[in-house]
Structure 1
């Protein structure tokens, strides 16, 4: 029986793709890559780290600086972002049925908490764990399970 649902934040709860595309395109000249369309940015999400580095032409260090800057700039956009409408109902229903809800994100905890507070969603979540990296979410997910003493057999991850 499922006891806990862990959600990705960007693109699952928060409709943030447009803001992320605008920020990364604005930073393109500074970091030396070509601006991307929303579809191209969405496709990058499915790439492994080496593929992402190869396709972008950026060094690992440059990508890390870029991601840091995107997170910082995204903080200014958080008040303008909306949750996906269907997610509000899903999250509310799961919470009312007694499931434990959490978030695993590569975004900052401050950004996520601000978003949740602005949309009245804070009371629905038991935790926000920031740890997803360029290397994927497998390792941070294992860390999250240990930290919150969650049984993998009764935990569901929802997101990309």
Structure 2
């Protein structure tokens, strides 16, 4: 039997933190001060590594965060990150990946719980100009609503959502969208695989090769 054809995509929806931006160091510095402020469990470096092997909902339960506190914690975190945006780097291959996908004719969007202002500051004006749509400020488990908004102009079977957490996979599945899980962010590969994304990406170059190939018409030279 021949190889399965690569699905053809017109739009790529990216998560931001842990997918395009390497904000892990910032989050590790911020987690325990926020834990003391909002009354949830502080963590050691070993616990942080252990939590990378758990689904997002399990992490929240482990930390003892009450659901009603999540909006306050998220709002405070966004405020702190906005103040530190100049210290948050993109992953080294992010720029080349975004340019390659844009040049291949793919429509790019960013859906994130972070603020659009912070995301634009970290991306810079040139890369921000490659993004057709920003849908930011999503609640922790509210990405599906944002996905619905940005996919209004395209066929959903031609969209892939790429992120680094299990909640990204869940949100894409809720709308019948393809999902790509990246292994360089918050969650370990093993826990991402357990949630059955459409595809797992080990590097930005894999995203380029897979998605650009999806733009090549069948039978083209």
After TM superposition, the score normalised by the length of structure 1 is 0.84
Partner of 2:49: 39
The worse-fitting range, judged by mean Cα deviation, of 129-138 and 35-44 is 35-44
Name structure 2 gaps, 5 residues minimum.
1-7, 165-221
- Structure showing greater radius of gyration is 2
Partner of 1:121: 127
**Greater relative contact order structure (CA < 8 Å, 6+ sep):** 1
Give aligned pairs, total: 154
Structure 1 residues 36-115: aligned runs within 5 Å: 36=43, 37=45, 38-40=48-50, 42-43=52-53, 46-48=55-57, 51-115=58-122
Q: Whole-Å Cα distance in 1 between the matches of residues 75 and 127 of structure 2?
A: 25
Q: Which has the higher helix share?
A: 1
Q: Whole-Å Cα distance in 2 between the matches of residues 10 and 122 of structure 1?
A: 15
Q: CA RMSD in A?
A: 2.0
Q: Whole-Å Cα distance in 1 between the matches of residues 82 and 73 of structure 2?
A: 14
After TM superposition, the score normalised by the length of structure 2 is 0.63
Q: Conserved in 2, the CA contact under 8 Å of 1:129 and 1:144?
A: yes
> Which deviations, in whole Å up to 9, do the C-alpha atoms of 1:39-66 show, x marking residues without a partner?
256456x323xx4443222322222211
Quick one: which of 23, 26, 41 aligns to 1:19? 26
**Residue 145 (structure 2) pairs with residue 135 (structure 1):** no
Quick one: which of 6, 10, 16 aligns to 2:13? 6
Q: Whole-Å Cα distance in 2 between the matches of residues 67 and 52 of structure 1?
A: 15
> Which deviations, in whole Å up to 9, do the C-alpha atoms of 1:112-140 show, x marking residues without a partner?
1111226x311221111115322253332
* Gap change, CA 1:63 and 1:109, over 3 Å in 2: same
Q: 1:24 Cα shift?
A: 1.9
Name structure 1 gaps, 5 residues minimum.
none
**Residue 161 (structure 2) pairs with residue 157 (structure 1):** yes
> After TM superposition, which residue ranges in structure 1, 4 or more long, deviate above 3 angstroms?
40-44
